Amino acid sequence: MSASLRPIPSQTPRACCVQVDGSGRPDNVDGCVVEAVREEWRIEEGWWGVPCRRRCFALALADGRICTVYEDRRSGQWWRYGA
């Protein structure tokens, strides 16, 4: 059944450079290797007003940092929250 989506952390996202593997999951963010994809979620809403289509990932990076990135499916641009 339906559930409310938890909001993405409220900091302003910044553009980032992401390399993906064959299934489209990030394996490198801004030059840092992704150690694990902790979770993937997808957003497709607002189609009646301001459409929002995103593929989001919670990542653990090889340098120990945690971050959330998402791909804007409309523009293809990757954005990053967190460290």
Residues that bind another protein (CB under 8 A): 1-6, 38-49, 56, 58
**Which of helix, strand or coil describes residue 5?**
coil
Shortest reach from residue 31's CB to another protein, in Å: 26
Shortest reach from residue 53's CB to another protein, in Å: 9
Instruction: List Cβ neighbours of 62 (8 Å cut-off, separation of 6 or more).
Output: 32, 33, 34, 35
Smaller CB separation from another protein, 7 or 76 = 7
Shortest reach from residue 2's CB to another protein, in Å: 5
Smaller CB separation from another protein, 52 or 62 = 52
Smaller CB separation from another protein, 1 or 83 = 1
Q: Where are the alpha helices (DSSP H) in the chain?
A: none
Tokens at residue 24, please? 């489209």
6 C-beta neighbours (distance < 10 Å), count: 7
